[in-house]
Amino acid sequence: MSALSLAVTGLGMVSSLGWDAASSCAAIRAGITRPQPLPDVYVTDEDLLEPVPLMGHPVSGLTDGFGPLGRWLQLAHACVEDLCATARLPPPSDTRFWSQTGWVCVLPHLDAARYLEVRDSGPELMMATWLERLVRTLGLASRPRWVHFVHAGHAGTAFALQLARQGLAARHVERVVVLAVDSYLDETSLEWLQARHRLKTPDRSVGLMPGEAGACLLVEPMGSARQRGAPVLAVAAAVATGREAGSFVEGQPQLGEALIRAAGEALAGIPPGKGLEGDLLCDLNGEQWRALAWGHAQVRLRERLERVRLLLPGVSLGDVGAASGAVGVCIAARAFARRYAMGDEALVLSSAEHGEVGAILVLRAPKGRP
């Protein structure tokens, strides 16, 4: 477990329900969902004996026509713009501020079976090229001096927060932007999912609806936030990560053992003898393996989950992959801010298809001055 207590002082988000965190989270709270037929992607409806469009959750008008790298870039730009506007951050020309800001980019696993770019240029060149484009798109004066990439699927945000804590504790930077983006809606990702029978179709009710999203968090030590006079939106109080003994992509049964351990470690951030009382954000997406892992975890953790409300962002957004953990933190923080959270605590649980797991305990910000 990471002995982490960081102030979350900024949020940014873009999804199929809105181009900012406020509208996206409000729409999710209202239960809104906007699945759309995906152009040129058809599946067979055996009852109708004809092809029908596959349904998904695109960010229409933002990612249309882009491949994987372009989609990640568009999503990143939009959610960072939201972060900068709502947190009132200095412009990119402020080299003092941005030179002291680290970045942890949470992206999908660079699976050669999913991405042609990995096969063509290799993961290192692929990431170096994408980072160069991101810096140029955001208008930063230079490449950040402290930047890391995390490829841990749904659990990526938990791993990223641990990295951020390490960088801040070592005083490499003063604050960190955790930027998480993913899309299952580019052509090769859809082919990859379809070949593995993971998509929800008229003839396969157990499957995921592909989505895409970008979400980012600005985190910094509480003392730094107070010094800047920055409003504290929430506190990332504890983070735990791990890896299952076998992964879904390897065909191994998922009993959620590592997820149970991670959740237990994160819940250690709650006072002894007290269980979680608040929202539990889980990345269930319609796939049976993920539901099985969560079912085992729910039974084993029942004494630690005293009074919880289960929230499933995937119902509204579809499966947004590596962005899901940061999306969960955004939802929790907005629920605290708008006073519709069930309690003063929230737990974000994540399980990745390659075996990584993460648990993030998010607390309501302390009252009074930040």
Please say whether the beta carbons of 300 and 260 come within 8 A. yes
The C-alpha atoms of residue 109 and residue 132 are separated, in whole angstroms, by: 19
Q: What angle do CA 5, 22, 16 make, to 5 degrees?
A: 110
Amino acid at 13: M
Helix, strand, coil shares of the chain as percentages rounded to 5? 35, 30, 35
The C-alpha atoms of residue 232 and residue 252 are separated, in whole angstroms, by: 41
Question: What pLDDT was estimated at residue 33?
Answer: 96
pLDDT tens track of the chain, all 370 residues? 545 589 999 999 999 999 999 999 999 999 999 999 998 888 777 666 678 889 999 999 999 999 999 999 999 999 999 999 999 999 999 999 999 999 999 999 999 999 999 999 999 999 999 999 999 999 998 899 999 999 999 999 999 999 999 999 999 999 999 999 999 999 999 999 999 999 998 888 899 999 999 999 999 999 888 888 889 999 999 999 999 998 898 888 888 999 999 999 999 888 877 889 999 999 999 999 999 999 999 999 988 887 999 999 999 999 999 999 999 999 999 999 999 999 999 999 999 999 999 999 999 998 754 4
Phi, psi dihedrals of residue 38, rounded to the nearest 5°: -90, 130
The C-alpha atoms of residue 37 and residue 201 are separated, in whole angstroms, by: 12
Question: What pLDDT was estimated at residue 4?
Answer: 54
The C-alpha atoms of residue 141 and residue 192 are separated, in whole angstroms, by: 37
Please say whether the beta carbons of 260 and 296 come within 8 A. yes
Q: Which domains does the chain have, with CATH numbers?
A: 8-228 (3.40.47.10), 234-364 (3.40.47.10)
Please say whether the beta carbons of 225 and 216 come within 8 A. no
Tokens of 145: 């001096």
Picking from 29, 17, 35, the residue whose alpha carbon sits closest to that of residue 201 is: 35
The C-alpha atoms of residue 229 and residue 212 are separated, in whole angstroms, by: 34
Give the residue ranges of DSSP H helices in the chain. 21-29, 68-86, 95-99, 116-121, 123-138, 156-169, 187-195, 222-228, 257-267, 288-300, 314-317, 324-338
